[in-house]
Structure 1
Amino acid sequence: MTELHWQKSSYCEAGSTCIHLASAPAREIHLRESATPYATVITTVTRLHRLLARIKGGDLDH
C-alpha cells in the first residue's frame, strides 16, 4: 500500500479542526478531518470538483 502524504487545508486556523487531503494512484482523493483521522472518505478528482462547485454555487445551502 502506498503511504499517503496528507496536506492540511489552507483555510484551517491554528488550533481548530481541519480537513486534510491526500492524493493516491488512480486519481483518488482521500479526505479526513483532524478530529477523527482514522475515518477517511475516498473519492475521485471529478466528484470532489463537482461537490466543491455545488458548495460554492450555494446549491447545498439550507
Structure 2
Amino acid sequence: MPEHDWQRSSFCAGGGNNCVEVAPSGSDGVAIRESETPADIVSTNRTALKALVLGVKAGELGSPRA
C-alpha cells in the first residue's frame, strides 16, 4: 500500500479516533479513511469528492438510516 500524507478534518474531536482523514493520491486522486479503521481506504478523484461535499452541505443526501 502506498504511503499517504494524511490530514485530519478540522472538525476532528480532540484528535481521537473518530476523524475523517484525506490524502492526495496520484495526479487527481484522493484517498479517504476513517481514523478508527485506518486500513479501510476509499479512493476517488477530486471532482467526485467535491460533488459529495457540496451535496452534503446542501442537504441533498437525506438523513442517515438507523
TM norm structure 2: 0.84
Q: Is it true that 1:30 corresponds to 2:31 in the alignment?
A: yes
- Measure the CA separation in 1 of the matches of 2:19 and 2:2: 23
Which 4+ runs in 1 deviate beyond 2 A?
none
Where in structure 2 are there 5+ consecutive unaligned residues?
Answer: none
More helix by share: 1
Would you tell me which structure has more strand in proportion to its own residues?
1
**How many residue pairs align between the two structures?**
62
SS where residue 37 of structure 1 aligns?
coil
Secondary structure of the residue aligned to 1:12 is: coil
Secondary structure of 1:30 counterpart: strand
Cα deviation, 1:2-57, whole Å, max 9, x if unaligned, reads 52110011110113510010002121000000110000000000000000111011
Code of the residue aligned with 1:28 in structure 2: it is G
TM-score, with structure 1 as normaliser: 0.89
Give, as a single letter, the amino acid of the residue that structure 1 aligns with 2:7: Q
Aligned to 1:11: 11
Percent identity, aligned pairs only?
Answer: 37
Q: CA RMSD in A?
A: 1.5
Runs of 5+ unmatched residues, structure 1: none
